[in-house]
Amino acid sequence: MKSLLICPTDRAGVPQLAEQVPLAVAPLLGRSVIEYWIETLAARGVRHITVLAADRPHQVRAVVGDGTRWGIALEVVPLSREFTIEEARAKYRGNATDWAPADDVVLLDYLPGMPEHPLFESYAGWFHALEAFMSRAVTPGRIGVRELEPGVWVGLHAVVDPTAKLYAPCWIGEHAMISAAATIGPNAIVEDRAIVEEGARVTHSVVGPETFVGQLICVQNSLAHGSTLVNWMTGSTVSVPDEFFLCSLDGRRFAAPRASLVGRGLALAAMAITAPIALAIMLLSLLRGEPPLVLRLGVRPQRNVRSAALQTFAYYDLACGNNWLRRWPQFWSVVRGDLTWVGNRPLRPTQALALANDFERLWLAAPVGLVSLADAHDCPAEVNDEACAHASFYAVNASSRLDWLVLGRAFFRAAFAWPIRWTRRKDAAVSLPHLVPKQEI
C-alpha cells in the first residue's frame, strides 16, 4: 500500500516553530510529527510513502532518509508550494487502487489519531497537542524510554538528580540533564539534550532540544528554545540576552566521554610496558618488507543516532598482532582521548551507514572503547547480530560496574590468547619496505 504526506509550510500562528527547521520536522517529544506519522503508517502496512515538501525539503530528507529504518520505501518530492489534499490526491494517486484505504493523503498538521488537536494554528494548540500526546509518544520503535512512575517518562541516558522533583505528567528527553532541587512538571516537557540547572522550575512549558535553563529560573506557560521564550497563552515572544538565564547549547557541552587523566596515564604505562613485544613484531615486519601498522578510520559517537552526519578519527592496528597485541597502537588513542578503556568498538563509516534501525544505531550512542562488551563475551570482531546486541546493551546500561566487569573478562581472555598472528610472505600485502600504513575506509 501507498500513502502521501504533505509537509506544511509557514503558519501565521506559530512563526517561531518554523524559524530553524520546517514544521514537519520541528522537535516534538524527541521526534517530529513526520516521524510519528511514518511509523504509524508503516505499522498499518503501508510500504511506500511519498513526502511532498515545499519548505526546505533537504532538511526533511535529512530526517527521514529513504525509509529504511521503518522498512519501507520513502521518497521526498520538492515542491514550489504546499499542495492541498485534493490537489495531491489528483496528481499523485489518480485511479490507482494500491493506496491505503485510510490516511492515503495526510496533511501533517496534527499527530496520528489526534485530529482534534491541530498543531500549527497557535502556540497554545501546539502545547496542548504535545500535552495530550505525551502518553502515546512511547511508540514501539522508541528505544530506552522508561516510565519512572505513572505519567513521568525519562529518555535514554537522561541524568536526573535524586533531589529533583518530577510531577506527572512530564517528559524528559534523551541525554537531558536535570540538576539538584530542580522542579519539572506538571505538564512539562524537557526535550533531548536540554539542561535544567539547580533550583530551576519548569511547569506547563516545553524546553526545546539543546536548551540551557539557568539556576533558579522559572519557566512557566512558555515554550523555551535556545534564547527565545514564547508565552503560549498570549503568543508574546522575547529573546533572552543573558546566557546565564536561557541560551542554546552548542555541541561542545555534549562531547563524547573521554578517558580520565588516570585512565590516560594507565594507557601510557601499559603501552610502555608492552612496547618491547610490539616493537619486536614491528621490526620483524619491516625486515620482511611489510608495513607494521594498518591505518583505520573510525566513527565518533553520535549525539543523535539517527543523524546522517558522521565525524571520524584515525587509529591504528598492529599488522601482525593478534588479540590484545593487535590493538597495542590504540593505547596511544586512549592517551589522546579518541578512545576510552571500555566502550563499543569503532565502526568504519561504511559499517555505520549500514546500521539499519534505531536499535542497531545505539552502537554509536556509547563511547568508542579499547575493549568492548563483545570482547568480554568472545564475540568475533565483525558487525553481526550478536555484536549489535552487545553494543546496544552496553549503550543503554553503561555503568562503572559494567566497565569493570568488561575489563576483567577481557583481560582474562587476553591472558590466554596467543598475541602474534604471522602470515606467510606470499599472503602478505604488497607494500613499500618502509613505514607506510595501509588505509581502510
Q: What is the mean pLDDT of residues 299-326?
A: 75
Question: Which CATH number is 212's domain given?
Answer: 2.160.10
Q: For the chain, what's the residue count?
A: 441
Do 322 and 418 lie in one domain? The reply is: yes
Residue 300 falls inside a structural domain: yes
pLDDT at 429: 40
pLDDT band at 288 (very low <50, low <70, confident <90, very high): confident
Do 207 and 311 lie in one domain? The reply is: no
Do 267 and 247 lie in one domain? The reply is: no
**Total number of domains in the chain:** 3
Given 253, 284, 319, the domain boundary residue is 253
pLDDT at 96: 67
- State the residue range of the domain holding 56: 2-118
Best-predicted range by mean pLDDT (121-125, 307-311, 321-325, 430-434): 121-125
* Mean of per-residue pLDDT scores for the chain: 86
Do 108 and 12 lie in one domain? The reply is: yes
Span 195-210, pLDDT tens digits: 999 999 999 999 999 9
Do 150 and 205 lie in one domain? The reply is: yes
Closest CA to 339 of 367, 359, 314, 299: 367
Given 206, 236, 253, the domain boundary residue is 253
Do 199 and 300 lie in one domain? The reply is: no
pLDDT at 311: 81
CB distance 355 to 302 below 8 Å: no
Q: What is the mean pLDDT of residues 343-363?
A: 83
Residue 139 falls inside a structural domain: no
Q: What is the mean pLDDT of residues 142-158?
A: 90
Do 237 and 260 lie in one domain? The reply is: no
Residues facing 420 on adjacent strands: 321
Residue 135 falls inside a structural domain: no
Q: What percent of the chain has pLDDT over 90?
A: 50
Do 240 and 335 lie in one domain? The reply is: no
CB distance 421 to 326 below 8 Å: yes
Question: Up-side HSE of residue 250: CA atoms within 13 Å toward CB?
Answer: 2
Do 263 and 247 lie in one domain? The reply is: no
For the chain, give the longest Cα–Cα distance. 78
pLDDT at 304: 54
Residue 134 falls inside a structural domain: no
Residue 370 falls inside a structural domain: yes
Given 227, 253, 279, the domain boundary residue is 253
Residue 294 falls inside a structural domain: yes
**Secondary structure percentages of the chain, helix, strand, coil, to 5:** 35, 20, 45
Helix axes 33-43, 57-64, angle to 10 degrees: 50
Do 220 and 284 lie in one domain? The reply is: no
Residue 152 falls inside a structural domain: yes
Residue 325 falls inside a structural domain: yes
pLDDT band at 256 (very low <50, low <70, confident <90, very high): low
pLDDT at 350: 84
Question: Which CATH number is 96's domain given?
Answer: 3.90.550.10
Do 106 and 246 lie in one domain? The reply is: no
Do 249 and 260 lie in one domain? The reply is: no
Span 73-116, pLDDT tens digits: 999 999 989 999 999 888 887 666 677 777 689 999 999 999 99
pTM of the model: 0.65
Q: Cα–Cα distance between 412 and 406 in angstroms, integer? A: 10
